[in-house]
Structure 1
Amino acid sequence: MSAVFDPTRVAHLGGRFAPVTEEVDAVDLDVVGELPRELDGVYLRNGPNPRFSPVGSYLYPIDGDGMLHGVWMSEGRARYRNRFVRTPAMRAEEKAGHALWGGVESMIFPGADEVGQDLAGDFKPIPDINVVEHAGRLLALGEADCPYRMGPGLDTLGKETFGGRLPGGITAHPKTDPSTGEMAAFCYALEPPWLTWSVVAADGSVSTGPTPVAGVEEPLMIHDMALTDRYLVLVLAPAFFDLDAAMSGGSFLAWRPERGTRVALIPRDGTEVRWAQEEAFWLWHTVNAYDTPEGQVVLDYVQWPALSLGGESSGEGAGGATARGLTRAVVDPATGTVRRTRLDDMRVELPRIDDRLIGSPHRRIAMAAGSGRNAGLLSGEYDALRWFDTGGGGPVTRLWDAGDLSVGEPAFAPSPGSVDGGGYWLTYATDRTDGTSWLLVLPDEDPAGGPVARVRIPVRVPLGLHGAWLPTEE
């Protein structure tokens, strides 16, 4: 691919997605409504934010430097701070004053004379997708690489290899078992072993892995996973890496629907992987999974008919792919079959539950949604929040139309002492009319009633991607 590249022609580098470069600290933020005093902690979100104008290519949501945005809340007051995740590659670009690496599709790498031998000729680390805390470590996570450890003030402390036990890294969506404190993770690679899984114990030590997944013989992309009491659940859609095509100017990912989609149930005790086969579909994000008394696995997720990268507008993706809504798959490890059921047809993404229920039956699913009113929304842009309740006398859906606001992923902040529900949903939002950004706080008891508080952020927060509520430790 030619290095000639016009960033102004890339929608995800402008508007509500445009990067910000200023790092800001602000206290006593303006609040519309009343910020619940029981919220004592910080809401953090990571997302693509190029430090310099990209060269070669830019593919949302894969490309872009990481930037953390945090709102600290206590006693009804709030303060804000944002910081880049400063990898050695970003520091080299800051020293040069411009981008040195191209986007992942362009295959542009700086030489040793520009960045030194350690960084030359390799892909740029991009910890720009998610942020999690585990065993006292605050981690900024990328697609398939080592996370970067961050300090409590969001300063970058360095690459996290977990004592050298996970040198290849993990992907952006590990899952922590709330009953054991174990963090399960996986990682795909462009060379053997193509796919591995691992477990980090509650104390931060690596107890398992990296362990190759038998039966995977080619490089393919898997963005998210789920966790049950018995299994790591991985959905292997037919999205295969093709470096030969990328080197000759083609796509570095090939969608091959004739191969179908496989579901891997990886026993946490290390025994043989159980496989199930289904017609081709893609998922970016799982909701949750759990085991049934009959030995099956229930997996909720947002389904796409095909891989879509950077091309979605008003729900339409590359090749006509459209997010088809919330779906439930029941996987039977004994028969190797998958039974899928559509739960909700609305255009949704970025699903979350109360993380205290990971691996157990969940009651409420929160999602960013498209209201259908705005034809010009891009991929990753939503103008409503939707809740799907799974229990009781049948499914119940709730919707809050955000009006002129574009909203992101909702994350749950439980009230102290609550068990299931009882708390607030948090999300960043940006006004499409004037570019102002807000942190929205919606009560779990009546989320469709809208926010009880809107916290004014002193800078615009670019849309996307994932965040976490981290309560203050007592």
Structure 2
Amino acid sequence: MSITKTHKIPRPAPVDMAHHAHLSGVFAPQRQEVDVRDLEVVGSLPKDLNGAYLRNGPNPRFDPIGTYVYPIDGDAMLHRVELAEGTARYTNQFVRTPQVVAEEKAGHVIWANATDAYRPGADEAGDLAGTARELPDINVVRHAGRLLAMAEADQPYRIDPETLGTIGRDSCDGAMAIGSTAHPKLDPATGELVLFNYMFEPPYLTWSVVAADGSALRTPTPVEGVDTPLMIHDMVLTERYIVLLLCPLVFDIAKVLTGGAVLDWQPDRGTRIALIPRAGGPVRWASDDAFWVWHFANGFDLPDGSVCVDYAQWAYPGGFADPGTPCDGALVRAVIDPGTGKVTRTVVADRDVEFPRIDDRSTTQRHGTIATLGKVAGRTGGMDALLFFDMAAGSETYWAPSHVAVGEPIFMPGSEHEYWGMIGTDRTDMSSWFYVLPAADPGSGPLAKVRLPIRVPAGLHGAWLAA
């Protein structure tokens, strides 16, 4: 995602990192790259759990200039924890875009970030003059032999699965020719990778499909009925539909070129819901009051033809809007009728939650447990716990370690049992750990934790890659 320069803009000032919430403390950038085997394990790692946890996240290679808007900004760093027969190894590397390579050669920052209109000239950037910083720093996806570091509305970068070295941009045989958002969805039944992308210019919104063999099954196809550039971060996939929530966070390029904010929250527009038939055909539309969604847990088709979607809902996108009212969050289940456009929302948990994850093998099907970061009911404080919602039983449990900044949970199936994992950082000494919890009873706490050799900045999304 980038803003096109239309006139000369002065080089921005450095960001005050010490006083920036997402550039200090557990978010402070990590510049060290390491590869360490036989890590210290507290407890006992399950020997039936073999594979690798990969996590992406924003991590500026050099101290940034201009603005820094989390979670969009920051160079990508991949972190990998490999588990094999009860042992652990950690590796990390920057994703080396042309901008990162040029800055490493210069020894200092050259580019500003996504919402800055500044572009460096040839005196600093050489052949890359006038380009924007590329930011494949949101998610990591494996599909059809490709390991991809995903950006926000841009082409991903292909990564060497052995070394984590950067191979280069990848269009996935043309399915991502104009880019992809960070959250494509893999259909476990068909092996298809389904994605969408938003743009600043018409047609504003497209969708594509990568076949199980890695070829483009559908190249970028416009979503009819969209007349405004909107930010849409995530999607839902069911057997029949691609579900996109068009929340009213509008791009205003004219404002940013005159020093204003690039994104404008316009709640009077409400939230529109697009149900796009995977088999082709006209889009089914539904409408609702304005709300914001960063991330979905899952969706599935119901026997009566309606669509069920579970997601983390917010009153508005904090960080991009400030209406002066509390930004209340909740875990919500919505049922959408494609025929009438009626939307019925039910609150599962009436408090702040984020990063909802399921057993990815259940994608497009009725799922069991949803794991999230969030607040424990009846307790004060921030989102300092892992919450586990059993959607069939209607029950909830949690694990709330003291002093640990918890990260996104990930489901990890072993050959005999099932587990949840996540990276967390102990605020008392800033040490980072990889935690393994039993899926059968995650509230009982970790079976094991692995001490990582360096601090891992609080970041975004990851994937479990079974061996």
For the superposition of Structure 1 and Structure 2, which TM-score range results when normalised by the shorter chain? over 0.9
Return the alpha-carbon distance in structure 1 between the equivalents of residues 363 and 173 of structure 2. Answer: 26
Gaps of 5+ in 2: 1-8
- What is the count of residue pairs matched by the alignment? 455
Return the alpha-carbon distance in structure 1 between the equivalents of residues 272 and 320 of structure 2. Answer: 24
String of CA shifts for 1:104-126, please: whole Å, max 9, x gaps.
22212112343244x33232110
In structure 1, the residue matched to 2:357 is 352
Return the alpha-carbon distance in structure 2 between the equivalents of residues 310 and 451 of structure 1. Answer: 36
- Give runs of aligned pairs for residues 75-474 of structure 1, distance below 5 A: 75-117=85-127, 119-152=128-161, 153-309=163-319, 319-371=324-376, 375=381, 382-392=383-393, 395-416=394-415, 422-472=417-467
Residue 464 of structure 1 aligns to which amino acid in structure 2? G
String of CA shifts for 1:367-423, please: whole Å, max 9, x gaps.
111347674x5xxxx42100001114xx00001111111101000011227xxxx41
Greater mean deviation of Cα atoms: 157-166 or 287-296: 157-166
Tell me, yes or no, if the aligned pair for 1:309 and 1:318 is still in contact at 8 Å.
no
Runs (4+) of structure 1 exceeding 3 A deviation are: 317-321, 371-375
| Deviation of the 1:94 alpha carbon | 1.1
Please provide the CA RMSD for this pair. 1.6
Tell me, yes or no, if the aligned pair for 2:264 and 2:320 is still in contact at 8 Å.
no
String of CA shifts for 1:241-277, please: whole Å, max 9, x gaps.
0111111111100000000000000000121000000
SS in 1 for 2:335: strand
- TM-score normalised per structure 2: 0.94
Return the alpha-carbon distance in structure 1 between the equivalents of residues 338 and 84 of structure 2. Answer: 47
Tell me, yes or no, if the aligned pair for 1:47 and 1:67 is still in contact at 8 Å.
yes
In structure 1, the residue matched to 2:6 is none
String of CA shifts for 1:195-244, please: whole Å, max 9, x gaps.
10000000000101200000111211000001000000100000000111
| Deviation of the 1:425 alpha carbon | 0.4
Tell me, yes or no, if the aligned pair for 2:175 and 2:210 is still in contact at 8 Å.
no
Tell me, yes or no, if the aligned pair for 2:174 and 2:216 is still in contact at 8 Å.
no
Summarize the Cα distance change of 1:323–1:30 in structure 2 as closer, same or farther, 3 Å threshold: farther
Residue 351 of structure 2 aligns to which amino acid in structure 1? M
SS in 1 for 2:336: strand
String of CA shifts for 1:164-195, please: whole Å, max 9, x gaps.
44321101000000000000000001122211
Summarize the Cα distance change of 1:14–1:358 in structure 2 as closer, same or farther, 3 Å threshold: same
- TM-score normalised per structure 1: 0.93
SS in 2 for 1:424: strand
Summarize the Cα distance change of 1:282–1:310 in structure 2 as closer, same or farther, 3 Å threshold: closer
Q: What is the identity percentage for the equivalent residue pairs of Structure 1 and Structure 2?
A: 54
Return the alpha-carbon distance in structure 2 between the equivalents of residues 87 and 167 of structure 1. Answer: 17
Summarize the Cα distance change of 1:300–1:165 in structure 2 as closer, same or farther, 3 Å threshold: closer
SS in 1 for 2:56: strand
| Deviation of the 1:7 alpha carbon | 2.6
Greater mean deviation of Cα atoms: 2-11 or 192-201: 2-11
Return the alpha-carbon distance in structure 2 between the equivalents of residues 310 and 49 of structure 1. Answer: 20
Summarize the Cα distance change of 1:318–1:79 in structure 2 as closer, same or farther, 3 Å threshold: farther
